[in-house]
């Protein structure tokens, strides 16, 4: 369903966590075993939707015969009050799966919604929004899926998915140039190097850096860095980027802007399930 993510295992583990040893004792006591439920999942806010296929997997895990109609597409922007999904099936099963399904949709939709706001803020500049590895342990594939639904581009998924020489690597290696040369000598391609000073740029490029991550630079410094690089390699702005600052950063001419906030700080969307 989502590349690099075991949906079946996630659904099983999440339901096991929520149901415990005794299952949904409330629904089992209050709802007749053969009762039916029809409900609609809706959004109380304007959002960008993500996670509906996972919600469906939760409901079907407990009621394989339930009828589900998905009413909007993943990545679609919807208005407040929009219906997202209609579900009909065994009442006990659907009510037991409800919280796990909603938690997942709320979290992923929150990420997608914040991501789209950042993407919209840099529209027309040519800069590309990237996510980061600042994700909840075990949920990276899901959270990065949500940023894609918000129209961002995924940065590296794992430590083996790309070379990024950061400040601590540089400190231990003895400088930008020896760190880059060591990576190149190891046969690594696509070497991204973090620089936080203008005077690190030429040594990084001379050593063979394939991309520069311009870390925590203010807008005037970013402009100077982009001018100095002069298109020799792609540039990426990173560090402390906010929605109210990203447009000015994009207008410096950087190729990419990476933002940890879109996964690290996105609030959950207000999505509910109502009896229909």
Cα–Cα nearest to 271, from 105, 111, 91, 117: 105
Cα–Cα nearest to 160, from 1, 9, 4: 4
Q: Which of 86, 156, 166, 181 is catalytic?
A: 166
Q: Which of 60, 86, 99, 247 is catalytic?
A: 99
In sequence order, the β-bridge partners of residue 40 are: 86, 274
Q: Which of 134, 181, 223, 247 is catalytic?
A: 134
Q: Which two tokens stand for residue 221?
A: 């410094």
Instruction: Quote the radius of gyration of the chain (alpha carbons, Å).
Output: 23
- The reply to whether 194 belongs to the active site is yes
- CA-to-CA separations, 243 to 118, 121, 175, 238, in angstroms, rounded: 6, 7, 33, 13
Rounded CA separation 52/73 (Å)? 8
- The reply to whether 134 belongs to the active site is yes
Q: Which of 24, 63, 74, 215 is catalytic?
A: 215
- The reply to whether 99 belongs to the active site is yes
Displacement of CA 62 from its chain's centroid (Å): 27
- The reply to whether 166 belongs to the active site is yes
Rounded CA separation 242/246 (Å)? 6
Q: Which of 56, 131, 177, 194 is catalytic?
A: 194
In sequence order, the β-bridge partners of residue 214 are: 195, 237
- The reply to whether 144 belongs to the active site is no
Active site residues: 99, 134, 166, 194, 215
């Amino acid at each position: 369903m989502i590349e690099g993510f075991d949906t079946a295992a996630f659904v099983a583990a999440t339901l096991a966590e929520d149901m415990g040893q005794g299952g949904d004792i409330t629904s089992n006591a209050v709802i007749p075993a053969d009762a039916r439920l029809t409900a609609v999942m809706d959004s109380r806010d304007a959002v960008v939707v993500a996670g509906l296929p996972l919600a469906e997997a939760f409901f079907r895990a407990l009621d394989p015969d339930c009828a589900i109609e998905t009413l909007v597409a993943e990545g679609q922007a919807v208005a407040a009050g929009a219906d997202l999904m209609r579900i009909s099936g065994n009442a006990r099963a659907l009510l037991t799966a409800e919280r796990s399904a909603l938690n997942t949709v709320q979290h992923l939709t929150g990420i997608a919604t914040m991501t789209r706001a950042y993407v919209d803020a840099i529209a027309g500049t040519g800069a590309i929004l990237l996510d980061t590895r600042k994700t909840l342990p075990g949920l990276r594939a899901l959270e990065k899926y949500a940023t894609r639904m918000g129209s961002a581009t995924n940065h590296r998924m794992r430590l083996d998915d790309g070379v990024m020489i950061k400040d601590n690597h540089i400190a231990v290696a003895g400088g930008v140039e020896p760190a880059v040369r060591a990576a190149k000598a190891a046969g690594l391609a696509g070497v991204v190097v973090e620089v936080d000073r203008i005077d690190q740029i030429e040594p990084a490029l001379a050593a063979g850096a394939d991309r520069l991550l311009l870390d925590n630079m203010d807008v005037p410094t970013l402009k100077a860095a982009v001018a100095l690089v002069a298109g020799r390699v792609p540039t990426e702005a990173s560090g402390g980027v906010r929605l109210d600052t990203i447009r000015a950063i994009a207008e410096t001419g950087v190729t990419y802007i990476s933002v940890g906030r879109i996964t690290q700080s996105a609030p959950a969307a207000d999505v509910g399930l109502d009896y229909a």
